[in-house]
Amino acid sequence: MILGKKHPQIKLESGATPPSFGYSAAVFSKLIPAMDLLSRTLSAKACLALGLLACTACAGLPVAPAPVEKSEVYYTVTGELALVRGEPRTAALQYATAAQNATDLTLIAHASEVTSECLQPSLTAAIATRWLGLDPQSIDAHRAAARAALALARIDESARQYRIVLSSSPRGTDVELKDLESELETSDDVFAARRLFDRLAADFPSSPAALRLSGLAALRADDPAAAAEDFSRALALTPAQGGDEPAHDAAADTGEARRELQQGLWRARILSGNTEAPLAESRALAQRDATPANVLNYALLLLAASQDQAAIAQLEALARDAESQAVALRLLGLVEFQNGDLDAAGRHFTELLTTGKFVDDSFYYLGLIAERRTDLEKALRLYAQVQSGDNATAALVRASTILQTHGAAAAAQEILDHLIEDEPARAPEMVAARARIYSDAGDARQALAVLGRGREQYPDSVDLRYAVATTDEEAGHLGAALKELKEVLKLRPDDPAALNAYGYTLADHKLKLARARALIERAYAGAPRNAAILDSLGWVLYRQGHDEQALPYLALAHAEDRSADIGAHYGEVLWHAGRRTDADQVWDAAARTDSDTRLLNATRRRLSAAP
């Protein structure tokens, strides 16, 4: 299957910066009168910035300014106007034009910031080149160039620029690496991030922090064996807590660093297939020092080892302790939801609400449960109460889908419009979501039109290119879909996602199977535990007639991700191998855990009708 968003990962807490979603009640009030109507307002920050620029143009710059040409003022003011109008591409182009011949480093730095925030990395890269030409020693310019190159998957260039930042920053290498960790956590391109951190770990082989980040990036990119190697090297370089530490705080920090590295190493080894020793070591620690943190870490490792019942037993014990109750209830609800036990998940998320913690997560999953049970009004009410955190945007996208498909298209579109205004960094995602709504309703023409306009605003977005390919394929435009995916692969020849997308699409349509398999095998080499890639490898082997070779890959994919599409593939190969009872069990389980069962239902109908 083509890589998409997997089932939500189990996290201890939501890490997103809380955005404002107060407008959601205004939209929902069109169907739920009890909610208050809220008015839309212009961004105060945008108005303030425009006012400052206008004052600068009229009243002159502060004391001792760099000369600013009239054209630069024109382009910056019109850029701000475009920002207020919600036209990110125009704003970025105006600022890029202003920076093109500018010598004012403050203006150039601001232009770099604007183009970056408008998700225009090609323009940011050009501005960074200009900036470095004027000030080659600027750490901020090198950092801007590095970020833009990473967004464009130009890994060698990104690594070169980050190498300069890490080596030259007056803040020190470890502080810069800490900032990089924050970028890693928010990056959706896990494969590009992994390749970057591989290079940085090679450049800084004696840095535990660099090796740790490389390990975390490898884990996120589904290469646990590589992660285990990085964590092991980082542990070897991190001194054990002892009497040699100069200060108590430093000793505590070192001890905590070793505990985090050890937990990462255990998890990586388990995901690599070596479960016995890490679980035994973690269990011994939890028994020797039964703190909630140690017991929780043991439960998380049991989940990584797919020993869900044992993990649930540990979490239920933690849920009886006031200190760890909320974290345990949240994890219990997530595990049960992902396993399709909606009743138990609903009970735990409802109980979690009474603790006053993880409230937004509780409302979101209770909304999903209500939607799965077709209680759509209840689902809308619950989604409307998700105000912040990782699931706030997802809740409103789900709500807009419900509204669009049940006769409230205007309300649905208003939600998405507001989301783009309040979450500009996720605008391509919102564009793809809007197109998905039209596509699911059978209106591929409108979906492609939405994506076309989105690509005009965000020409560097690879996610929009994948969305175009998927929409074209579903509409029967296979040639256009393959052309799009081939062009993405040219831009990202070593990207497992691009290799897998093109290879899987060929295999799914029984085209160039040898070529498809070669592409998918390259993707598998880069991300050997990625569920979508495992599914693709099993599927192409099945298409080639190698059923027995296909089954282990599909079984592992299904263990990693219980989505209906993977279940459909796994069940079909089981059916074809004569294991029809097993196929039905896989299909039934997939139907319980995933609401999008179109492929699954079509597969069952097709095989049941076959002689």
Q: What angle do CA 371, 377, 378 make, to 5 degrees?
A: 65
Asked whether the beta carbons of 419 and 397 are under 8 A apart, the reply is yes
Lowest mean pLDDT among 36-45, 64-73, 102-111: 36-45
The predicted model gives 380-391 an average pLDDT of 90
How confident is residue 411, by pLDDT bands cut at 50, 70 and 90?
confident
Residue 483 vs residues 444, 465, 472, 488, 502: alpha-carbon distances, Å: 18, 11, 10, 9, 9
Pick from 527, 472, 460: nearest CA to 497: 527
pLDDT of residue 58: 42
Residue 41 pLDDT greater than 90, yes or no: no
H/E element holding 100?
A: helix 88-100
Lowest mean pLDDT among 101-105, 255-259, 472-476, 522-526: 255-259
For the chain, the residue count is 611
pLDDT of residue 253: 67
10 Å CB burial of residue 288 (0-12, 13-18, 19+) is exposed
Residue 73 vs residues 53, 63, 111, 154, 410: alpha-carbon distances, Å: 8, 17, 12, 32, 38
pLDDT of residue 522: 98
pLDDT of residue 30: 33
pLDDT of residue 196: 96
* 55 or 436, which is more confident: 436
The predicted model gives 128-132 an average pLDDT of 98
The structural architecture, per CATH, of the domain 43-152 is Alpha Horseshoe (1.25)
Residue 5 pLDDT greater than 50, yes or no: no
305: its two tokens: 């080892």
pLDDT of residue 407: 81
Residue 409 pLDDT greater than 70, yes or no: yes
pLDDT of residue 577: 94
- The C-alpha atoms of residue 363 and residue 333 are separated, in whole angstroms, by 12
Residue 27 pLDDT greater than 60, yes or no: no
Residue 97 pLDDT greater than 60, yes or no: yes
How confident is residue 68, by pLDDT bands cut at 50, 70 and 90?
low
How confident is residue 611, by pLDDT bands cut at 50, 70 and 90?
low
Percent of the chain scoring above 70 in pLDDT: 87
pLDDT of residue 418: 83
Residue 184 pLDDT greater than 70, yes or no: yes
Residue 54 vs residues 51, 81, 189: alpha-carbon distances, Å: 5, 11, 38
pLDDT of residue 18: 34
How confident is residue 425, by pLDDT bands cut at 50, 70 and 90?
confident
Residue 305 pLDDT greater than 70, yes or no: yes
How confident is residue 610, by pLDDT bands cut at 50, 70 and 90?
confident
Residue 601 pLDDT greater than 50, yes or no: yes
The predicted model gives 257-283 an average pLDDT of 95
pLDDT in tens, 547-564: 999 999 999 999 999 899
Q: How would DSSP label each residue in 401-432?
A: HHHHHTT-HHHHHHHHHHHHHH-GGGHHHHHH
How confident is residue 390, by pLDDT bands cut at 50, 70 and 90?
confident
The predicted model gives 337-366 an average pLDDT of 95
Lowest mean pLDDT among 425-434, 479-488, 510-519: 425-434
188: its two tokens: 């959706």
pLDDT in tens, 136-151: 999 999 999 999 999 9
How confident is residue 426, by pLDDT bands cut at 50, 70 and 90?
confident
**Runs of H (alpha helix) within 458-530:** 462-474, 478-491, 496-508, 513-526
Q: How many CA atoms lie within 13 A of 415 on its CB side?
A: 29
How confident is residue 515, by pLDDT bands cut at 50, 70 and 90?
very high
pLDDT in tens, 188-227: 899 999 999 999 999 999 999 999 999 999 999 999 999 9
How confident is residue 57, by pLDDT bands cut at 50, 70 and 90?
very low
pLDDT of residue 37: 29
How confident is residue 86, by pLDDT bands cut at 50, 70 and 90?
confident
The predicted model gives 312-325 an average pLDDT of 95
Mean predicted lDDT score pLDDT of the chain: 87
pLDDT of residue 1: 79
**Residue 513, Cβ neighbours under 10 Å: how many?**
16
* 256 or 472, which is more confident: 472
Residue 69 pLDDT greater than 80, yes or no: no
How confident is residue 408, by pLDDT bands cut at 50, 70 and 90?
confident
Q: What angle do CA 404, 563, 380 make, to 5 degrees?
A: 30
How confident is residue 15, by pLDDT bands cut at 50, 70 and 90?
very low
pTM given for the model: 0.84
pLDDT in tens, 449-468: 999 999 999 999 999 999 99
